Amino acid sequence: MDWKEQTVLVTGGTGSFGRKCVEILLQEYHPKRLVIFSRDELKQSEMQRDLSDSSLRFFIGDVRDRERLYRAFHEVDVIIHAAALKQVPSCEYNPFEAVKTNILGGQNVIDAAIDCGVRRVMDISTDKAVSPVNLYGATKLVAEKIFVQANAYAGFRPTRFACVRYGNVVGSRGSVIPLFLEQRNHGRITVTDPSMTRFWITVEQGVRFVLRCIEQMHGGEVFVPKIPSASVVDLARAVAPDCKVEHIGVRPGEKIHEILVSPDESHLTLELDDMFIVQPAYPWWGKGNWENQGRPVPRGFSYASNSNPHRLTQQELSEILEGL
């Protein structure tokens, strides 16, 4: 795949992931045209000011608006679908809005991509989509399902769809780290449960993994990177070692531990050196796509944050925080 010959569009292109993705694409991949699609005009104007490049195009629009997507996807080769409502409490309080953006917006992206002849579409998912307990996770589970099955809707057309599923992004909007940094000034850190663990990945690691999976995808996979875990208490101590840690109880829709591959997916999952691939359970999935590169995981296998063999040490946590 020659990125220099591709027109790439990023939905949610002004968010934490989108902005870093655009920066890396411009600096290292040099696509023919790079389209930022988002509904935030202020952030778009800031990106235009900060990123001066002749390949850049900016579209104001919302994934809820089918007609705007059809216009934006004209002559696009690759779509990275990062637009979503992601705040767990906000989605709990505004469920209809979460459904409209995360599910119906995803359907709009699928329909427009197929009809416009886009060749590769990668949906950005989350560990909260696995055995979801909150509305955000439930909408992202549905999004995964429709993007995987969209390959059947594409039929003989060239469009192929896949998903990337990973854990909490260090320092992103909605991450607990900015909250801890703010609380540090007051000498007290709040943690919902002392045993809570999470998967962690930096936004740059996430972007690079997504771009690599776009190059390798056959269509239908859910790609899961092997990433480290850490307890939230250890993270709090790394951010503010001298502060008091107060336990305030689990919030609505919050898990104690997160899962990136569930036992129910184990019979479909292949393990590679640095990632897992959850294959689709549909007749259209081509045999041999990954079998020669991956090995099946044991039945009942799960990839969970509390049993993950790679746990971040205090020193590793401190190094990650220094890099923010």
Closest CA to 83 of 5, 153, 19: 19
pLDDT score of 225: 98
CA angle in degrees (0–180, nearest 5) for 185-190-194: 140
- pLDDT tens track, the chain, 324 positions: 899 999 999 999 999 999 999 999 999 999 999 999 999 999 999 999 999 888 999 999 999 999 999 999 999 999 999 999 998 889 999 999 999 999 999 999 999 999 999 999 999 999 999 999 999 999 999 999 999 999 999 989 999 999 999 988 886 766 777 778 788 888 888 888 888 999 999 999 999 999 999 999 999 999 999 999 998 888 888 888 888 888 888 877 788 999 999 999 999 999 999 999 999 999 888 777 887 888 999 999 999 999 999 998 878 887 877 766
Residue 305: exposure state from Cβ atoms within 10 A (0-12, 13-18, ≥19): buried
Query: Strand 160-166 relative to strand 120-126: parallel, antiparallel, unpaired?
Result: parallel
Residue of 128, 226, 255, 287 marked active site:
128
Does some domain include residue 129? Answer: yes
Query: Strand 244-247 relative to strand 295-296: parallel, antiparallel, unpaired?
Result: unpaired
How many Cα atoms sit within 13 Å of 322 on the Cβ side? 6
pLDDT score of 187: 82
* Rounded Cα distance, 8 and 253, in Å: 35
Closest CA to 139 of 174, 181, 90: 90
pLDDT score of 315: 80
List the CATH number of the domain containing 57. 3.40.50.720
Query: Strand 7-11 relative to strand 269-271: parallel, antiparallel, unpaired?
Result: unpaired
Does some domain include residue 57? Answer: yes
Q: Residue 118: give the domain boundaries.
A: 3-167+200-226+259-303
Query: Strand 33-38 relative to strand 7-11: parallel, antiparallel, unpaired?
Result: parallel
Does some domain include residue 316? Answer: no
Domains in the chain, number = 1
Does some domain include residue 179? Answer: no
Residue 4 a catalytic site member: no
Residues 202/208/212/214 CA torsion (nearest 10 deg): 90
Cβ pair 165, 196 in contact under 8 A: no
Cβ pair 193, 256 in contact under 8 A: yes
Does some domain include residue 73? Answer: yes
